[in-house]
A and B are shown apart, each in its own frame.
Chain A
Amino acid sequence: MRREDERKTTRRDFLKKAGLAAGTITAISLVGNVRSGETGPLKVGLVGCGGRGTGAALDCMQAAPNVKVTAVADLFRERAEAAKKRLNEQGAEIKDDHVFHGFDAYKQLMETDVDIVILATPPGFRPDHFEAAVNARKHVFMEKPIAVDPVGCRRVMAAGEKAKELGLAVVAGTQRRHQKSYIETINRIKDGAIGDIAAARAYWCQGGLWVVERRPEWSDMEWQIRNWLYFTWLSGDHIVEQHIHNLDVINWVMGTHPVRAMGMGGRQVRTAPKYGNIYDHFTVDYEYPNGVHMLSMCRQIDGCANIVAEFVVGTKGSSNCSGNIWGQNPWQYRGPNPNPYVEEHKDLIESIRKGEPINETQAVAESTMTAIMGRESAYTGKVVTWDEMMRSDLSLAPKEYKFGPLPVAPVAMPGRPM
C-alpha cells in the first residue's frame, strides 16, 4: 500500500497534488469505512482503439467501481475519435485533449495522469509500448501476444522485471488464466488428479479471419497496419497471434516452457497478396524439459475441421484443462464461469488496490516465445531450441515507423535460408 502511494506521489506534479487535497476529504467521507486506496479512483488510458481495445476498456470499467477511461490513443485519428465517442457513451470521461493519434500517440498518452494503460495495438508494437508504460510507471493490461520476435520478447521480459521492482501490476490478455473452469481444473491437475503428465495436445483450428482490402490512397505501411493479421512483423503469424492461448494453457499446466520445437507449416489456400506473408497452417511437436511432448496444431482455412482446445494425458487420467477430468479421479466443474474478459481486469484492479500487484509478464512472454519458436521451426524447417531463441537477434520491426513504402517480406520457405 505504502509503496503504491509513494509511487503516485513521485509521478504527480505538485500543483495537481495540491489541487487534490480538497477533493481527498470528500472522497474519504464518501467511501466511509473502506480504507483509503481500496476504491480510490483509477484512471485508464487505452492504446489501440480497435474492437478488442475498446472492448477491453469497457471490460475494465465494468470490473470494479470508480474506474474510468480518461484517455485514448490510436495510430488513426478516426479510430481514436470513434473509441472516445463509444466509451463516453458507456460512462468514460475522455476529454478532447486526451484523444491522441499518430505513431507517437502512445507517448502522449503515457504523459497523462492515467494509472492503468491498456495495450491493444497489433502485437508488433507491444514491446515499445510496454517499455514506455513501465518507464512512465503505469500499471498495465496488455493483450497477447506481447511480441512477434525473440528480441521483442526479451525486451518485454526485461521490462516486466523492472515493473516488478517498481511495484507495477501487469496482466496479460491470456484470459484463460482468469477463467474459473480453467483455474479450478488446472489446480486439480497440479495437485495430482491425473498423476504425472505424459503428453499434451493444443489446437486452434478454425476458418479464416477478417481481411482489409487495400485502398489506392493507402501507403504500404498504412495498408499493412490496417490489415495487420497477415504480416508477420505485425501479428507474429496466426500461431503467435491466436494459438498462443492454447500453448499458454499447456505451459501453465507444465509449469514451464518447452525446450525445443520441430514444426512444419505452409500457405496452402490463403495465397493471394491480401494475405500478406503469413502461413495458413502449422503443426509443431514441442518438447518440455522432462521429455514430455506437446502436439500443437493450428490452422486458419475455411471449410475444414475446427477445434479450439487443450488436452493433457497423465499416468492416472486425462483432462481438457477446462472443466473435465477423466480417469481415476473423475471430476467435472459445475460452478459459475464469470466472463473471463472482465475477470482479468477485476484481478488487475484488485491487486493494484490491495497494493499486491500481480505481474504476468514472464508467463505471457514465455508463451509468446513458445509460439515464436514453433513458427521459426516451421519457417526454417529446422529444429529450434529455446536457448537459440533466447540468443536470437531476429527482429522483424521495420527500420522506422512512418507512412510510406514497405515491401512485404517474402513468405518463409522451409529449408531455404532467407
Chain B
Amino acid sequence: MRRLCLFVILILSGCGISWISRGKPHKAGPFGSYSQEISGTLVKFEMVRIPGGTCEVSDPSSPGGKRKMKFKGFWIGKTEVRWDEYDVFMYGLDLISKIKEGEETGEEDAISRPSRPYGNPDRGFGHEGYPAIGITFYAAEQFCNWLSRKTGRKYRLPTEAEWEYACRAGVLPPGPVDKKLLDRIAWFEENSEGKTHRVGEKEPNPWGLHDMLGNAAEWCVGMDGRPVLRGGSYKDPASDVHPAARQYQTPEWNASDPQFPKSKWWLSDAPFAGFRVLCEE
C-alpha cells in the first residue's frame, strides 16, 4: 500500500509539468480540437482529439485487475454534455426555425426525443453551462443517435476503456487520486456544496478534458456490455472519485418516479448521472 502511494506520488510529481498548464489552460487539447455546431441553433460545443495508444485500464471483472488495451485515435467531448445541447434535443429547438409560428405540426425528423419531464430536471443546480443530469443510459444513447443524424458524424457513448484512457491522459493512476490534485480538477462531495457546477471550471487534464472526474458521473458502455457510470460525481466522497470508479444502476435511481411504467428517459433519483460524447475518427 505504502509502495503504491509512493508510486502514485512519484507519477504525479513527475508529470506535474504536463498536468499544470501554465497560465491559461489549453483552449484546445494538445492534439487538436473542433467545434461542433448544431444547425438551426446557436449552440456549439468543443470536441478534443485523443491520440491512439495503449493503456492498462482497470478491469471491472477482478478487483485491482488491469487489462492492457490498444486504442485508435478518437474525438471526445471537452466537457460533459450540457443542458445547452440537451435542451435542443429534448425540446426540438433545432426544429423551431422550420416551423411556422403557432402552427407546429410536430416532429419532422421522426427522431425519438425525450419525454417531457414533470418538474425541473436541472434540480435548481443551474442550467446554461451545467451538465445534463438525471439522464438514463438509453437517453444518452438516443442523444448520440440524434447528434449523428444531425451532423453526419459518427457520435456514440465511449466504451469504459476509451473513457478511462482519455481520463487518465497518460498521467493518472487507475485508482484514488491525491486529494489536493483532485480538488483542482474535480467537483466531489467535499467541495461541491451538494450540486453540479458549470462544466470547465476546474483545470483540464493534460489532454484538455474537463470534469472527467466528479461533477456528473458519465455513462459508458461497460466491458461486459452493461451500462456503467464512470468517474464518480459531485455526490461522492473524494475516495470514490477516480479513474477506476464505477457505478451500476440500481432500483433506487428511479424509485420516486411516480409513473408506471417508469420513464425510460429520466432517472428521478440519480441527479449525478450525466455523459459525454465520443466521435469516431
Interface residues of A (CB under 8 A from B): 51-52, 54-59, 86, 175, 205-210, 213, 242, 271-272, 274, 302-303, 305-309, 339-341
Instruction: Assess the B258–A59 pair: CB atoms within 8 A.
Output: yes
Instruction: Given contact pairs A55-B262, A56-B258, A305-B127, enumerate 17 new A-B contacts (beta carbons under 8 Å).
Output: A55-B258, A57-B260, A86-B260, A86-B261, A175-B258, A206-B117, A206-B118, A208-B91, A209-B116, A210-B116, A274-B104, A302-B93, A306-B122, A307-B120, A308-B119, A339-B255, A341-B256
Interface residues of B (CB under 8 A from A): 87, 90-91, 93, 101-104, 106, 115-122, 124, 127, 255-262
Cβ of B127: which chain A residues have Cβ within 8 Å of it? 305-306
Q: Which of A175, A209, A303, A308 contacts B87 (CB 8 A)?
A: A303
Cβ of B121: which chain A residues have Cβ within 8 Å of it? 306
Residue picked from B117, B118, B122, B257, most chain A C-beta under 10 Å: B118
Instruction: Assess the A51–B93 pair: CB atoms within 8 A.
Output: no
Q: Which of A56, A210, A306 contacts B115 (CB 8 A)?
A: A210
Instruction: Assess the B124–A340 pair: CB atoms within 8 A.
Output: no
Closest to B259 in A: A51
> Could you pull out 24 A-B pairs where Cβ atoms are within 8 angstroms?
A51-B259, A54-B260, A54-B261, A55-B258, A55-B260, A55-B262, A56-B258, A57-B260, A205-B120, A206-B119, A207-B91, A207-B116, A208-B116, A209-B118, A242-B118, A271-B101, A272-B102, A274-B104, A302-B91, A303-B87, A303-B91, A307-B124, A341-B256, A341-B258
**Cα distance A85–B261 when bound, in Å?**
12
Cβ of B87: which chain A residues have Cβ within 8 Å of it? 302-303
Cβ of A213: which chain B residues have Cβ within 8 Å of it? 106
Cβ of B120: which chain A residues have Cβ within 8 Å of it? 205-206, 306-308
Least CB distance, A63 to chain B, in whole angstroms = 13
Instruction: Assess the B124–A51 pair: CB atoms within 8 A.
Output: no
Closest to B102 in A: A271
**Cα distance A229–B90 when bound, in Å?**
19
Give the top 7 A-B pairs by smallest Cβ distance, nearest first.
Answer: A51-B259, A55-B260, A302-B91, A54-B260, A271-B102, A308-B120, A306-B120
Cβ of B124: which chain A residues have Cβ within 8 Å of it? 306-309
Instruction: Assess the B91–A58 pair: CB atoms within 8 A.
Output: no
**Cα distance A56–B260 when bound, in Å?**
8
Cβ of A305: which chain B residues have Cβ within 8 Å of it? 127
Cβ of A303: which chain B residues have Cβ within 8 Å of it? 87, 91, 93
**Cα distance A208–B90 when bound, in Å?**
11
**Cα distance A302–B257 when bound, in Å?**
22
**Cα distance A51–B260 when bound, in Å?**
5
**Cα distance A137–B121 when bound, in Å?**
40
Instruction: Assess the A52–B116 pair: CB atoms within 8 A.
Output: no
Instruction: Assess the A52–B259 pair: CB atoms within 8 A.
Output: yes
Cβ of A339: which chain B residues have Cβ within 8 Å of it? 255-256
**Cα distance A56–B258 when bound, in Å?**
7
Instruction: Assess the A272–B118 pair: CB atoms within 8 A.
Output: no
**Cα distance A125–B239 when bound, in Å?**
53
Instruction: Assess the A58–B256 pair: CB atoms within 8 A.
Output: no
Instruction: Assess the A51–B261 pair: CB atoms within 8 A.
Output: yes
**Cα distance A204–B101 when bound, in Å?**
25
Least CB distance, A28 to chain B, in whole angstroms = 34
Closest to B101 in A: A271
**Cα distance A306–B115 when bound, in Å?**
17
Cβ of A306: which chain B residues have Cβ within 8 Å of it? 120-122, 124, 127
